[in-house]
């Protein structure tokens, strides 16, 4: 049997992976703790390690995994900014799930937007107390508004389709524009200037880190609504807070947070929140924060499990996988192998 050590495992991970393993090919070891230099010892004896967005796979962790004879790291997510991809080359195969459910994330982004601008969360709280006043609940139509979409991968494209269904005008930016599409691509400068709503669907890279900062906020429309269901560090949180206080930003809908790794996915309701910035954000009446749940649908969990197990089988059986990450691949550099040959 293939032995897989799971880190940062939640109940829904355990249930979905056990259900996906219909032929009982895998022996699972589930750990609640995240993978880092202090916990990597738990992986010893495994054939593969499976991790999520807040595990820290740096040089030391990679060296430790290799010393245990582990040559495969399986990400059960699309993002990979928490893995030192270049250092892993020729040491550790890294595979991911590039598209578990673009609908789940895109639909959650729209749900956050609608909840915010139509004050649904405030109405829910009021009516629970039998307060049926409409004072302070005035929203605005999405029809006719301009939405700027940063990143037009699978999630971004689905979000664009949803926005078009609401009669919105769509402007988009992507470093690698989709070929043969009807998406209107413009410069970031034009998006900052024209968008009433901004939604982020791009990966976190050195180039996109803090793409929303004091300077870019100053170039946005007054009252702009920001939606981030991608990675927290796309937004400079201090600049976001200042923009909200100065009434430049009309609302923020966040499913991710720059310093979420020690906070999200845990019940902290009985504790004082040490992160003052997050506490201030949550206290703002025009900010909605969900705890990285945009991906969390039954369909997405099933796709994550199926794809992850398939990725593990492919690497261990053939040494190659269409979902392998390598710093030589397009997006990092140029590689003619295109996943048809072994990366190393």
Catalytic positions? 231, 260, 292
| Number of other residues whose CB lies within 10 A of the CB of residue 263 | 16
Contact 21, 2 (CB under 8 A): no
Residue 262 and residue 172: Cα distance in Å, rounded?
A: 33
Non-local (6+) Cβ contacts of 313 within 8 A are: 2, 25
Tokens of 179: 């070929």
Q: What is the rounded distance in angstroms from the CA atom of residue 88 to the CA atom of residue 98?
A: 19
Strand arrangement of the beta sheet that strand 224-228 belongs to: 169-173, 146-150, 197-200, 224-228, 249-254, 287-289
Distance CA 106, CA 231 (A): 14
Query: Which bin fits 141, alpha (ψ -120 to 50), beta or left (φ > 0)?
Result: beta
Cα–Cα separations (whole angstroms), residue 109 to 17, 116, 194, 273: 26, 11, 20, 25
With contact defined as beta carbons under 8 Å apart, do 252 and 288 qualify?
yes
């Amino acid at each position: 049997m293939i032995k897989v050590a799971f880190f940062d495992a939640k109940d829904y991970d355990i249930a979905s992976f056990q259900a996906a393993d219909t032929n009982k090919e895998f022996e699972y070891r589930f750990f609640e703790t995240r993978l880092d230099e202090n916990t990597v010892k738990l992986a010893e004896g495994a054939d593969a390690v499976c991790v999520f967005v807040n595990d820290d796979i740096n040089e030391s962790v990679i060296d430790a995994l290799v010393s245990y004879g582990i040559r495969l790291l399986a990400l059960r997510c699309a993002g990979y900014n928490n893995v030192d991809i270049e250092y892993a080359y020729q040491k550790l195969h890294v595979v991911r799930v590039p598209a578990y459910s673009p609908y789940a994330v895109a639909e959650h982004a729209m749900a956050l937007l609608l909840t915010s601008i139509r004050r649904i969360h405030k109405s829910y709280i009021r009516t629970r107390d039998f307060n049926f006043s409409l004072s302070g609940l005035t929203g605005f139509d999405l029809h006719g508004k301009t939405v700027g979409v940063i990143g037009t991968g699978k999630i971004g494209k689905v979000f664009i389709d949803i926005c078009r269904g609401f009669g919105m005008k769509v402007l988009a930016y992507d470093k690698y524009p989709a070929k043969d599409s009807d998406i209107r691509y413009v410069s970031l400068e034009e998006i900052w200037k024209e968008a009433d709503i901004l939604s982020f669907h791009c990966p976190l890279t050195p180039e996109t880190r803090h793409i929303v900062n004091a300077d870019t906020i100053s170039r946005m429309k007054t009252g702009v609504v920001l939606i981030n269901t991608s990675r927290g560090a796309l937004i400079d949180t201090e600049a976001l807070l200042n923009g909200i206080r100065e009434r430049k930003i009309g609302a923020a809908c966040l499913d991710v947070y720059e310093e979420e790794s020690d906070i999200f996915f845990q019940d902290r309701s009985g504790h004082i929140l040490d992160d003052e910035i997050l506490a201030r954000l949550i206290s703002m009446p025009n900010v909605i924060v969900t705890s990285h749940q945009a991906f969390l649908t039954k369909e997405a969990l099933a796709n994550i499990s199926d794809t992850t197990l398939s990725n593990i089988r492919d690497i261990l059986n053939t040494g190659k996988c269409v979902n392998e990450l390598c710093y030589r691949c397009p997006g990092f550099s140029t590689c003619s192998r295109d996943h048809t040959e072994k990366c190393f």
